[in-house]
Homo-oligomer: A and B are copies of this chain.
Amino acid sequence: MSNTERRRRHSGRTTLADVAREAGVSPITASRALRGERGVAAELADRVRQAAESLGYVPDPAARALASQRSHQVAILVPLLSNALFVDVLEAVQSTLWPHGYQTLIGVTHYRPDEEEQLLRTYLAHRPAGLLLTGFDRTEAARRLIGHVPCVHLMELARAPGVYCAGFSQQDAGEAITRHLLERGRRRIAFVAAQLDPRTMQRAEGYRRTLRQAGLYDPRLERLSPEPSSMRLGGELFAELLQQHPDCDAIFFCNDDLAQGGLLTALRQGVAVPGRVAVAGFNDLSGSDQMLPPLTTVRTPRRAMGEAAARMLLSLMRGETPATTALDLGFELTVREST
């Protein structure tokens, strides 16, 4: 038994070398052909592709990542999967990236910068081709970790140069809905929020700014709970608020699930909506159009953000410089009967 024989560890998998042999070219030519690198004679490329096909060749991502120092994985970090918002963004991202041969590594941060940093550390070890992150608030360490990996931020708009993002102005959206309530003649407008993540607080800023301008801002009409958002919580805060402030005539909930809970509690307690109190939500989640009454809300461009961010990332990963660094996808006030 020769020494080389003894040491073979071949895994049985079809390798590029097999394809190259079959096609009668060198491995590197096969590699170039299969990656679509230009500079391979069309005829050879065809032969290689056919050989690969007939042998059922599947490139080894690990070998590829090791040799080239880059993988075809894109890491995407979202706060939660229990908010339909992020699920829609994810779906759009995946269906945009998949046809280009990129897989996604989904990480859930639970709105915690330390978890995000940990995930980033782990995922960056895989040398992802790109990163998709939610928002801008993160640890300094996380920011350093990102380094020069192509990266697009979701859900917000930033002004910083060289920072790519696809989102919309949370503050403007908060302002739009507050303004709508004012236009409906409401004067004692409350704001109810949970989770209190940065985007929620930006909506709060839009709310405050608008009411201050109108001379109607009253901090006692804010209910900010750090708990996770839920229908139950929305119902509780609704009841509490109306009890403590019977003159409250409108409530802007920072998310539709809270608002839905509020509407159901209104039904349960016989509070007329919008007669006694108008109710507005945010995100236009599933079911909001089914409520009694149907919920006025802000339709956020979830799929558009996911797709735009993915496209931006694709061009960054190709080494191009996208025309815009901050893509504003806008939002749409969706007025229904609850206001």
User: CB distance A66 to B69 under 8 Å?
Assistant: no
List A residues 20-63 near B (Cβ within 8 Å): 58-63
Q: A71 in the interface, Cβ–Cβ < 8 Å?
A: yes
- Which of A64-121 touch B at CB < 8 Å? 65-66, 69, 71, 81-82, 84, 87-88, 90-91, 94, 103-106, 108, 121
Q: Is A291 an interface residue (CB 8 A)?
A: yes
Q: Say whether A257 faces chain B, with CB atoms less than 8 Å apart.
A: yes
- For residue A125, CB closer than 8 A to chain B, the reply is yes
Q: Among the listed B63, B81, B105, which residue makes an inter-chain contact with A66, where contact means beta carbons less than 8 Å apart?
A: B63
Q: Does chain B have a CB within 8 A of A267?
A: yes
Provide the A104-145 mask, 1 if CB < 8 A to any CB of B, else 0.
111010000000000001110111000000000000000000
Question: Are the C-beta atoms of B62 and A126 separated by less than 8 Å?
Answer: yes
Is residue A11 within 8 Å, beta carbon to beta carbon, of the partner chain? yes
Residue contact B82 to A87, C-beta cutoff 8 Å? yes
- Residue A289 CB within 8 A of the other chain: yes
Residue in B closest to A59 when the chains form the complex, CB atoms: B125
In the complex, residue of chain B having the shortest beta-carbon distance to the beta carbon of A235: B290
Number of interface residues of A (CB under 8 A): 47
Decide: A81 near B91, CB < 8 A? Known: A264-B290, A292-B268. Answer: yes
Question: Counting CB contacts under 8 A, is A334 at the interface?
Answer: no
**Whole-angstrom distance between the Cβ of A134 and the nearest chain B Cβ:** 16
Q: Is the CB of A125 within 8 A of B81?
A: no
Would you call A66 and B58 a contact (CB within 8 A)? no
Task: Give, as a whole number of angstroms, the nearest-CB distance from A279 to chain B.
Answer: 15
CA distance A231 to B65 in the complex (A): 45
The answer to the question of A3 belonging to the interface, with a C-beta cut-off of 8 Å to chain B, is no
Q: Are B290's CB and A125's CB within 8 A? A: no
A230 CB–B CB distance under 8 Å: yes
Complex CA distance for A136 and B149, rounded to whole angstroms: 39
Name the B residues within 8 Å of A66 (CB-CB): 60, 62-63, 66
Contact indicator B91/A58 (Cβ below 8 Å): no
B91 pairs with A108, CB closer than 8 A: yes
Among A60, A90, A104, A287, find the residue whose CB has the most chain B CB atoms closer than 10 A. Answer: A287
Given contact pairs A82-B286, A267-B267, a sample of 19 additional A-B residue pairs in the complex whose CB atoms are under 8 Å apart = A11-B69, A58-B125, A61-B62, A61-B125, A61-B126, A63-B66, A87-B87, A91-B108, A94-B108, A103-B105, A230-B287, A235-B290, A257-B286, A260-B287, A264-B290, A264-B291, A264-B292, A268-B292, A287-B287
Could you write out 25 A-B pairs with CB less than 8 Å apart?
A: A11-B69, A58-B121, A60-B66, A61-B126, A81-B81, A81-B90, A82-B91, A87-B87, A103-B123, A104-B106, A230-B286, A230-B287, A231-B290, A232-B287, A257-B287, A260-B287, A260-B290, A261-B290, A264-B290, A264-B291, A264-B292, A265-B290, A267-B267, A267-B292, A268-B292
